[in-house]
Chains A and B, each alone.
With several copies, the nearest count.
Chain A
Amino acid sequence: MERKYQINLDTFAGPLDLLLYFIKRDELNIYDIPIAKITKEYLEYLNMMHTLDLQIAGEFVEMASNLMSIKAKMLLPRFAEADDDDIEDPRNELVQRLLEYQQYKEMGKEMKKLEEENISYFHRNPNLTYVDKNIDAKEILHKISLFDILTAFKNVLDKIPDKLIPHGIQLDNVSIDDQTEYLYTFFIKKSKVNFSTVVKTIKSRVVLIVTFIAILEMIKTQQIRIYQADLFEDFIIEKVE
């Protein structure tokens, strides 16, 4: 073999990249690839990788069989003799893929230049702690990707043993915390709510009592205050800002 492989073995991003290398090095016509020649070179390369005990990715092997199949088709007399335009050249699909891939590879090189030009600049990175309550979902989500959410979920799951993932029934599920939570739901849109509104939907006595304790607790911790517009009027619960 006169071919000297002065190539970094790990340089190729994939089989298409490797084929483009052969085409370029040997100055082959990409529209008329000598398939036997290139298949041979390709297989030699894989062999060499194998000899050197390098792992060969599945795609490289897949491409080898693809090349051999094209080569076989090219040998069929039907193709060799036909001038007919409607018999498709078995190489076409590969050529199209190579050309498309080549375009992005070239663009990647252009981007490398941009990266070089810009790598030394650092943009302002402020330490921000401003928080405004009146912003909507869209404005927060702007900085979060679904990937972040999924990753966060996975991290949570990773922290707990499977068996501990709860499902279902608890004996007594209502706590002061729950009802504090429940009260807060009224404060999403408004800062005030009538006591009667809060208790209207509560059917269970236990829940009612716990809700009441929660209100007292919240007054004590100054999360809310309570007042009456007039004697015997409904209580108004107001969130303390």
Chain B
Amino acid sequence: MKTIDINAKIVEAILVASDEAITQGKLDKCLDEGHQIDLDNTIKYLNNFYEKADRSFFIMKVAGGYLLATHKDYEKFIRKFINRSGRIRLSYAALETLAIISYKQPITHPEIERIRGVNSGGVISTLMERNLVTVKGRANSPGRPLLYATTEDFLKYFGLNSSSDLPRLKELDEIIHGKNNISQKTAEPNPIREEKTDNDQ
């Protein structure tokens, strides 16, 4: 097989390493002065190669540019693999809602929406489908709205006995601001040691 064009290899490497679609504009920004790559042509060249070489993947044109994708035939295997390895992520809205429910449980739907400021019905039902959140009775307030709480699975996964074991906001502060747990006897504020890149030693 012949040595492939260096430009094609650059594009291929970016396609492999980034989850963001590649566009001509974004590609241009990665290249040195004077170095030009015609993206559309390179994609054609690569796709042609993948097809001839009978690979299981190809370059797909999506709304924002090009992405590496697999052929339909392998979807079945991939789905199984991905589900097993937990590649499905919660959306940020779902994470946020899960967080509110974890910390404020048991909590009603209207209360969640008041905290988030947006309609949360869809998100709650996603969380229920995923068995992260469950209904724990009804509130005594008028209308007796359902009360939501996190599931056993949720706590078990994080090795917590109960929701009161969740990290506290104060602890987050300590982590983020590097506040010391060790008694700090002296008054001098502690400069947070920031990441130095490379020095001797």
Direct A–B touching, Cβ under 8 Å = yes
A124–B172 touching, CB < 8 Å: no
11 contacts between A and B (CB under 8 A): A13-B92, A14-B116, A29-B182, A97-B117, A105-B92, A111-B95, A137-B154, A144-B89, A148-B95, A166-B114, A204-B143
- Which of A16, A103, A118, A175 interacts with B118 by CB under 8 Å? A16
User: In the complex, what residue of chain A is closest to B173 when comparing beta carbons?
Assistant: A154
Distance, CA A152 to CA B129, complexed state (A): 14
Given contacts A137-B154, A142-B86, A184-B128, contact A156 B95 (CB under 8 A): no
Given contacts A114-B160, A122-B70, A125-B18, contact A174 B116 (CB under 8 A): no
- Which 4 pairs from chain A and chain B are nearest by CB? A14-B118, A142-B86, A173-B143, A174-B143
**A101: chain B residues within 8 A (beta carbon):** 115-117
**B186: chain A residues within 8 A (beta carbon):** 58, 61-62
Interface residues of A in 8-42 (CB under 8 A from B): 8, 10-11, 13-17, 23-24, 27-32
**B200: chain A residues within 8 A (beta carbon):** 8, 11
Distance, CA A31 to CA B175, complexed state (A): 13
B175–A15 touching, CB < 8 Å: no
Asked if A222 is at the interface (CB within 8 A of a chain B CB), the reply is no
B132–A137 touching, CB < 8 Å: yes
Given contacts A16-B117, A31-B185, A147-B135, contact A124 B201 (CB under 8 A): no
Distance, CA A136 to CA B88, complexed state (A): 10
**A136: chain B residues within 8 A (beta carbon):** 130-131, 153
B201–A11 touching, CB < 8 Å: yes
A121–B87 touching, CB < 8 Å: no
Asked if A133 is at the interface (CB within 8 A of a chain B CB), the reply is yes
Distance, CA A57 to CA B93, complexed state (A): 15
Given contacts A10-B196, A151-B172, contact A172 B142 (CB under 8 A): yes
Interface residues of A in 65-92 (CB under 8 A from B): none
Given contacts A114-B159, A156-B115, A173-B141, contact A30 B69 (CB under 8 A): no
B95–A144 touching, CB < 8 Å: yes
Asked if B144 is at the interface (CB within 8 A of a chain A CB), the reply is yes
- Binary B-proximity of A196-236 (CB < 8 A = 1, otherwise 0): 00000000101100000000000000000000000000000
Distance in Å from the Cβ of A27 to the closest Cβ of chain B? 5
A14–B121 touching, CB < 8 Å: no
B145–A150 touching, CB < 8 Å: no
**A160: chain B residues within 8 A (beta carbon):** 115, 117
Asked if B106 is at the interface (CB within 8 A of a chain A CB), the reply is no
- Which of B16, B86, B90, B116 interacts with A122 by CB under 8 Å? B16
**A146: chain B residues within 8 A (beta carbon):** 134-135, 146, 158, 160, 166-167
B184–A58 touching, CB < 8 Å: yes
User: In the complex, what residue of chain B is closest to A180 when comparing beta carbons?
Assistant: B121
Distance, CA A162 to CA B174, complexed state (A): 21
A185–B128 touching, CB < 8 Å: yes
A124–B167 touching, CB < 8 Å: no
User: In the complex, what residue of chain A is closest to B180 when comparing beta carbons?
Assistant: A24
A166–B111 touching, CB < 8 Å: yes
B188–A55 touching, CB < 8 Å: yes
A30–B153 touching, CB < 8 Å: no
B67–A124 touching, CB < 8 Å: yes
